[in-house]
Chains A and B, each alone.
With several copies, the nearest count.
Chain A
Amino acid sequence: MQIHIDYFAILREQAGRQRETLQTDAKTPAHLYLQLCEQYGFELIQARLRVAINDEFCDWSQNLSDGDRVVFIPPVAGG
């Protein structure tokens, strides 16, 4: 399954990239984030993040579909 990921803020810096498209067997965003933590050593725990699929907030247990665009959202700090 092919998934597009956009990285922002601290995750962008730790991943060393703004976006990527990858093949994954992850069924959910939670599963995918665990795989990425192994790859990039993200220090943020999942409980402090939110996640969006195709530009809408979603549950960590939502099923991923081929071609989805996933964004992991670090603690926000606007204003």
Chain B
Amino acid sequence: MSTFLLQKEPIDTAALRQRVADPDCGGYASFEGWIRNENEGRAVSRLEYEAYAPLAIAEAHRIVNEALKRFEINNALSAHRLGALDVGDLAVWVGVSAPHRADAFAACRYIIDEIKQRLPIWKKEHYADGKAQWVNCAQCASQASLV
């Protein structure tokens, strides 16, 4: 079973929750990343996501396997949107079921943290003032110009 979905369509969280449901589990922790209306003081109007899909999917699968080893959990799934998203939209989802809640929380946190750090996914923020930039790349570019 695939443990990570990368999709243009909205994420059906209720259907994914059903896939991690388990009568052996007493706890289910989930996380949703929503598009905020501002980032670092700038008013955000919309975002575009793109991914290097084969590597993103492989890396997400590694992350879930790490979580299964580190924590006593039964099931973990995650999903990430691609394409154009608006403020309030769900960009990323993680769901984890476990016998006990401490592991469900810890694994859910681990997976979202690693997804954000390691998956080759990028977002371009479009601001209310009409400007746009690739997040995390503006600083790198200015460093490069100093070289």
Contact = CB atoms under 8 A, between A and B. Distances in A.
Given A77-B134, A77-B136, A79-B116, A57 B80 contact: no
Contacts of A79: 33, 80, 91-92, 112, 115-116, 121
Contact of A43 (B56, B80, B124, B145): B145
B105 to A, nearest CB: 14
Contact of A44 (B33, B49, B144): B144
Contacts, number: 90
Contact of B134 (A50, A56, A74): A74
Contact of B140 (A13, A43, A50, A78): A43
Nearest to A6: B52
Given A9-B134, A55-B55, A76 B121 contact: yes
Of all A-B residue pairs in the complex, the 3 with the closest CB atoms, nearest first, are A78-B121, A9-B122, A75-B136
Interface of B: 33, 49-52, 54-56, 58, 80, 91-92, 112, 115-124, 134-137, 140-141, 143-145, 147
